[in-house]
Amino acid sequence: MDLSRKRVVNWCPRCQTSLSDLELEHKEEKSHLWYIKYPLVKPIGTKKHITVATTRPETMLGDTAVAVHPNDKKYKKFIGQKVILPLTNREIPIIADSILDPEFGTGALKVTPAHSMIDAEIAEKHNLPAIQVISDKGRMTKKAGHKFASLTVLDAREKVIKELKKKKLLEKTKDYTHQIPRCYRCDSAIEPLISPQWFLKMDNLANQAIKAVKSNKIKFHPKRWEKVYFDWLKNIKDWCISRQIWWGHQLPIWQCQNKKTEYFASDKTPKECSVCNKCKPEQIEDVLDTWFSSALWPFATLGWPKQTKDLKEFYPTNTLSTARDIINLWVARMIFSSTELIEKTPFQDVIIHATIFAKNGQKMSKSLGTGVDPLDLIEQYGSDATRFGMLYQALINQDILFSEENILMGKKFANKVWNASRFALMQINKEKIKIPDNPNWKKTTKADKKILKQLNITTKKLDSYLETFQFGKATHLLYDFFWHDFCDKYIESAKKQDNAQTKQILAYVLLNSLKLLHPFMPFVTESIYQQLPFKEKEFLMIENWPK
């Protein structure tokens, strides 16, 4: 616990809670870049001021420095000088910091440590004070000066610009489009501000997570998604994990009631205060970021922290299938939570599945009306058709544009499987056929040989596609085998070859086809299996996988 550092967090003035970076939604907005003159206390030659550019002029009331890049020739002579902060008449220093982008605006940055994360970082290095001019309600504080106090941020912005114009300190205004962070819950503009919050120290945890994937203990499929994971972990900052909302896991932190600035952690309700040994400490009301709790999911669901039988039996798990948008929100956090708390990686394979977009390429969204309800598709085409038709498109490209034609194709294929199976069963004439485990066919025809060979090839290929999580390719393989090799060719030949072995081979290929298709079309295949006169198990789903 490091209580000395004050940090800027993302604050939603409406929800009255902090948010992590990943909970922000960045939305493009047309705004302006305002160029403001800060007069030099002692002019240098003809230079009477230094100009800063900002998208948030109202925050200037809380500036405590102007920063320039140490190698920027334009500004070298100003470093160490002071400017008079307009509208406040405070004197603030001009400092040098290499974190600056000399290409942005004028190359001189106003530093507002209480309302910008980067500025807070600069302030810490240079020991600058932080002046909070915006409150947690999103209004200007008294420290912004009596003219501005209690105004909303946007009203204050207007007034600041008006005042600067009056004093001829506004050099120019440029149109500027930029990304505004907004609250993912309520869409309010986020106010970065200093707030006492709890942070999770990330260096060591991020390293553990990086190592787990670098060492191949965990593999991403497709592998390219590793980059998203590594990029995030390599640039990670400490994670603000406390939220001021009423649902969630309460933080296991207690406050001393005698020394209210002191806290201690305990995983059980403490009997006494470990700060003063006298008071009855109170647990703080903050709850954990919901993603912190979600990160415990793989093992907490098995009874952790108790060493349960389930945990011993089923942990670590094998495979996680998830969406690309939550690689960092969830996958990365599950990994380091598990390596830290259980000293095991939570799974071996992470499948990042394809994402289905609306026909025009937009994200499917309820509010935009671009979404498709899978239940409607199932109602219209059947669930096997919906599943098969979706998978059929998931090849190399992972951005799938929704196509109802593919679902229709899935329906036609499901019908084909149904009809062909019924037809094959008629051929077999419900005779008592016993399919041998390791068949040793004698006197096979050319057609027999061909279908048996194709079945072998298909089985092998399907295994390799499943092992490498290429479900789209698997559906293409099965479609071609069943429709073309089995239905178009073999069933036709079998009609002419009326003998006992042909019926056996027909039954053998049908049974194995059903097994191979089962993961992709579970309902129709199970339903056919139930009608087989030669079935050996109660259900297809517990049959042995073909070899």
Residues of the shown chain interacting with Zn ion in the complex, contacts defined by CB under 5 A? 12, 14-15, 183, 185-186, 188, 256, 258, 273, 275-276, 279
Distances (CA, A) of 379 to 112, 138, 370, 401, 491: 57, 48, 19, 21, 31
SS3 for 324-373 is: HHHHHHHHHHHHHHHHHHCCCCCCCEEEECCEEECCCCCCCCCCCCCCCC
SS3 for 125-147 is: HHCCCCCCCECCCCEECHHHCCC
Q: How far is the CB of 134 from Zn ion (least distance, A)?
A: 15
The residue (of 277 and 440) whose beta carbon lies closer to Zn ion is: 277
Asked whether the beta carbons of 275 and 6 are under 8 A apart, the reply is no
The residue (of 16 and 362) whose beta carbon lies closer to Zn ion is: 16
The residue (of 255 and 512) whose beta carbon lies closer to Zn ion is: 255
The residue (of 263 and 481) whose beta carbon lies closer to Zn ion is: 263
Complete DSSP assignment for 236-247: ---EE-EE-SSS
Q: Which residues contact 230 (CB under 8 A, 6 or more apart)?
A: 210, 213
Half-sphere exposure of 115 (CA within 13 A, CB side): 28
Q: How far is the CB of 260 from Zn ion (least distance, A)?
A: 9
The residue (of 64 and 242) whose beta carbon lies closer to Zn ion is: 242
Q: How far is the CB of 59 from Zn ion (least distance, A)?
A: 20
The residue (of 23 and 485) whose beta carbon lies closer to Zn ion is: 23
Q: How far is the CB of 276 from Zn ion (least distance, A)?
A: 3
Nearest alpha-carbon partner for 457 in 490, 487, 480: 480
Q: How far is the CB of 11 from Zn ion (least distance, A)?
A: 9
Tokens describing residue 146: 């009596």
Nearest alpha-carbon partner for 444 in 483, 490, 484: 490
Phi, psi of 20 (to 5 degrees): -85, 165
Q: How far is the CB of 280 from Zn ion (least distance, A)?
A: 8
Q: How far is the CB of 259 from Zn ion (least distance, A)?
A: 6
Cis-peptide into 222, omega within 30 deg: yes
The residue (of 265 and 401) whose beta carbon lies closer to Zn ion is: 265
Q: How far is the CB of 14 from Zn ion (least distance, A)?
A: 5
Q: Which residues contact 420 (CB under 8 A, 6 or more apart)?
A: 482, 486, 487, 491
Cis-peptide into 522, omega within 30 deg: no
The residue (of 10 and 337) whose beta carbon lies closer to Zn ion is: 10
Asked whether the beta carbons of 93 and 80 are under 8 A apart, the reply is yes
Q: Which residues contact 140 (CB under 8 A, 6 or more apart)?
A: 58, 61, 133, 134, 148, 149, 150, 151, 152, 153, 156
Asked whether the beta carbons of 54 and 60 are under 8 A apart, the reply is yes
> Is residue 227 packed enough to be buried (19+ CB in 10 Å), middle (13-18) or exposed (0-12)?
exposed
The residue (of 14 and 234) whose beta carbon lies closer to Zn ion is: 14
The residue (of 114 and 275) whose beta carbon lies closer to Zn ion is: 275
Q: What angle do CA 134, 136, 138 make, to 5 degrees?
A: 55
DSSP state for residue 61 in the 8-state scheme: G
Distance CA 534, CA 547 (A): 19
The residue (of 99 and 186) whose beta carbon lies closer to Zn ion is: 186
The residue (of 266 and 301) whose beta carbon lies closer to Zn ion is: 266
Residue 387 CB coordination number (10 Å): 23
Q: How far is the CB of 257 from Zn ion (least distance, A)?
A: 6
Q: How far is the CB of 258 from Zn ion (least distance, A)?
A: 5
Q: How far is the CB of 154 from Zn ion (least distance, A)?
A: 17
Half-sphere exposure of 163 (CA within 13 A, CB side): 16
Q: How far is the CB of 247 from Zn ion (least distance, A)?
A: 15
Rounded to the nearest 10 degrees, the angle between the axes of helix 374-381 and helix 383-393 is 120
The residue (of 1 and 186) whose beta carbon lies closer to Zn ion is: 186
Cis-peptide into 439, omega within 30 deg: no
Q: How far is the CB of 298 from Zn ion (least distance, A)?
A: 29
Q: Which residues contact 522 (CB under 8 A, 6 or more apart)?
A: 384, 541
